[in-house]
Amino acid sequence: MKVAIYSRGYEQELKAELSQLVAELTKNNISVLLHFSLARFIQEDKSYTFSFFSSHEELNDTVDFLISLGGDGTILDTITLVRNKNIPILGINYGRLGFLASISKDEFGTAVDALVNGTYVVDKRTLIHLDANISLFGDAPFGLNEFSIHKRDISPMIKINTYLNGEFLNTYWCDGLIVATPTGSTGYNMSCNGPIVFPESASFVITPVAPHNLNVRPIVVPDNYIISFVVESRNDQFICAMDARREIVHKDVQLAVKKEKFTISLVRLNENNFLSTLHTKLTWGLDKRN
């Protein structure tokens, strides 16, 4: 078995725990492939044998799993590494909330045992894909959480004409508009009062950011729809964001989003289903008066 490990490499605390993780994997005869950002944490450790990778091109079908060390943002980074290669991603949470990276950093021993013994569950998650008449987001115009349109800085609100399969839906006078996947419904969408939808719901959520009209509400649409936009603004430019990546775009650019052709696989331990994650992360069902 071969396991790749990715992290943004910002946290000094990773050094000791990364060494422990590599030791645990090596003890189970698992080959380790480290992202180059982790080199400074572990390169001087000669106790183990490992190699490095720096781009998605260096991940192939010999890699059985990719372990993400960090928060949900770190997992979003891994999507551009794994792409359509169907490498399952296991997230170990070093961040805060951790909807995607749901395995505690104290549980990595349990997680490694689950990989070795096959006692894990793989969830398929849909992605969102952007089509535009210019190149945006390089060779990775897809995201796990959401695609969004935003006004620039202190610009006045923008006007976003939105269409479903070419049929007019609504004009949003707002600071921005989010199109979230079910996975992304617990992210930026939720913070803008969008609904939470189950990962298997086969839908997109369209949620305005600070809408000018009080009768405008989020809407859930099937994910086999093509959602297109025409943006009007006093400023010639606006911002397009795909998960944590962003582009400055001219208002004449044509934009449309749809479901990506491939899915991403997320590994979870058997007991960590979506409902238990909601209960844990949002403290649903707990009476804090006691």
Catalytic machinery residues:
72
DSSP 191-240: HTTPPP--TTS-EEEEEEES-SSTT---EEEETTS-EEEEEE-SSSEEEE
Distance, CA of 198 to CA of 125 (rounded, Å): 11
Distance, CA of 8 to CA of 106 (rounded, Å): 19
Distance, CA of 216 to CA of 110 (rounded, Å): 46
What radius of gyration, in Å, describes the C-alpha atoms of the chain?
20
Distance, CA of 60 to CA of 57 (rounded, Å): 7
